[in-house]
Structure 1
């Protein structure tokens, strides 16, 4: 128990020391590829959220999802890329291949769909090579280019606001 606490504390401290400031240069090209980072610990409507994105013009083939959960059960069947707390090292790096592939891909838009600041989620958002990052205002404001103030449970409000502002910014 103590080692898990110390591991989380160590990773959090290293992430805090790193520069969390987002690159201020934003590409003018329209959004085609989208990365969706979801905290499934409390939010279970992943499929409905994806349907909302698709109904607003994002093609399924251009959408990549990575899910985080504090811990997964051994017999739980998971058919999508995911990671958990145990995939974060003492040095604040991600050790799971699916998460590393997600980080390495250049997205036009990264949607960080979590409203509670957790070290593994912050690491992926910060290290992502996305051109435009969107998230919630309740998370560290240095992580995202654009933030929406709503609750995680109200995914349709989040998506409506997101696409309203993407149209204003001429990103879609």
Structure 2
């Protein structure tokens, strides 16, 4: 129990270091690949993201959905992996090679669809090599380049706002 607290503290310290050194470089490159980080404990209708990606003309092979749950449920989603705090080590290290591979992808756009203040899911967003990051309003505004102030339950509003801003930024 005490070790778990120390691990959490080391991960938070690493997260703060990542976010402090984060540089944003927004370009007008078109979005051709999409990564989505979603907390399935808050929002489990993953199919809406698949429909959303089709709306913005992302081919299915260029879409990756990274699901996270605080619970260690096996096969939460039958068609994709679900990651949990057990996949993280000390100082922000990733113990799951599949998660590490997903984080290393250079997505044109990463959508962070969660509001809970969970260090591990925030690490996924912070460690991502995505060129542009969009998320729901969260406690730490340094995670994303663009923040849409909605709740998790307002998916259609979030989707409309993302499309609007991608058009304004000439990314769509």
TM-score using structure 1 length: 0.90
Query: What does 1:53-68 align with in structure 2 at a 5 Å threshold?
Result: 53-68=53-68
The separation in 2 between residues aligned to 1:43 and 1:15, in whole angstroms, is 24
Distance 1:16 1:90, change over 3 A: same
CA drift at 1:21: 4.8
Structure 2: which 5+ residue stretches go unaligned?
none
The separation in 2 between residues aligned to 1:84 and 1:15, in whole angstroms, is 17
CA drift at 1:36: 0.6
CA drift at 1:137: 1.8
Is the contact between residue 22 and residue 144 of structure 1 (CA under 8 Å) also seen in structure 2?
A: no
CA drift at 1:94: 1.5
Distance 1:75 1:17, change over 3 A: closer
Aligned position for 1:82? 82
The separation in 2 between residues aligned to 1:75 and 1:51, in whole angstroms, is 22
Q: Secondary structure at the match of 1:91?
A: helix
Is the contact between residue 34 and residue 64 of structure 1 (CA under 8 Å) also seen in structure 2?
A: yes
TM-score using structure 2 length: 0.90
Is the contact between residue 18 and residue 126 of structure 2 (CA under 8 Å) also seen in structure 1?
A: no
Structure 1: which 5+ residue stretches go unaligned?
none
Q: Secondary structure at the match of 1:65?
A: strand
Q: Secondary structure at the match of 1:67?
A: strand
The separation in 1 between residues aligned to 2:141 and 2:74, in whole angstroms, is 35
CA drift at 1:74: 4.3
The separation in 2 between residues aligned to 1:131 and 1:16, in whole angstroms, is 20
Which one has a larger percent helix, Structure 1 or Structure 2? 2
- RMSD between aligned alpha carbons? 1.9
